[in-house]
Every structure is written in C-alpha cells, then in structure tokens.
Structure 1
C-alpha cells in the first residue's frame, strides 16, 4: 500500500535536515532578510505536510498544496545568492520540491479519491 502523503512529509523532512546541516556549517549562502522569511515558510510547509500525513483530508491537502506553491514561488528569490555558487544543488532542491507536488497530486487521486 502506497502512502504518498507520508512519503511527501518524510522527503520534505530530509530536505529540511539537509538545509539545517548546511546552515549549521555556514554553507547555505543566503541574505539575512531572505533567511528569516525562508525559515518561517519552510517550517510552515513542514507543519502542513506533517498534518496532511497524519490526518489526510481535503482541507489539509489544500493547505499543504497552498503552502508548497507559495514556497516554490519564493524559492528562487531566497536561493539567489546560493545559486550563484551552487546552481546544480539549488536545481536539485527545486526538483525535489516538484516531486512533493506530484506526490500530493497522486495522493489526492489515490488516497482521497478526488479527481
């Protein structure tokens, strides 16, 4: 049995751990103003994905999709400085965020049976 919402949540947690490691070791290049907004939105997205994972519902799915979309829209701005030196890494992160969107859409069809 596939669990796309749990998979999306765990994959995002792995991404957060990677970012946390880089921040701790001062390897994530980001302006302070962007860091605060990114950190806040990153945590909000994590909470939304975790809630959806634990309590699959239409409203939790909509909340998670909204948070993810907002995060993806701002991501290039937040990662602008880091991308100058590590463009491949930022592209990889963007791809991983896109995968989360696909997992949510799959879960919408399979778990919640919404077409």
Structure 2
C-alpha cells in the first residue's frame, strides 16, 4: 500500500484528500504546517508527498529540499495557489517532481499520482 504524506494547512483540503485517497487504497499521514511536515519527513519514509507551498511555521520549500537531501527518490507534488512561471520554476528547482495549481480536480491529482509513482 502506497503511503502518502499530505502537508497542507487547510483542514477542508486535508479532509477531502484524505477521504478520497483512502478510498483509492492509499495510506495517508498528514501535517498541518511546514514544521510538522519537515519533522515527519525526517522520521518516516513516504512513497509520495503532497506539499503545499504557503504553510504556517515554514514554507513548503524547506521540507521539499530536506527530502532531496535525505532521499532523492521520493516523489513530491506541490499543491499550491502559487501560479507564476517563476514560482513554478522555483518549486521544481527545490526538488518537486510536479506542480498542481489550486483549485484542482481530484481526478487530475490521482492521475498524476499514478503517473509519478510508476516512473
């Protein structure tokens, strides 16, 4: 079973993602701020990380970079309202494999999870 970490500060989005992804057969762990996400990444191994950029206590860039320093193989998808070309490039340079702008469709997310986990 694929274990996914969701790092997101909007509880409604966490609940939506958690319920939908669990129904798809994924195991879900979540954090509600960047620091908590960073600490979980240091302690556990995840098969995929869904990471918001604009988080309390620490932006999503630091946990993303931490994953790349620790383990270069864990796929990371940014889920964010940041939408300029420069921000997309910055997120990818930080180590993200993919970048989905909010709002997004659940079907789009699951297709990207399937695609990224088979690479």
- Normalising by structure 2, we get a TM-score of 0.29
Larger Rg: 1
Larger RCO (CA under 8 A, 6+ residues apart) = 1
Structure having the larger proportion of residues in strand: 2
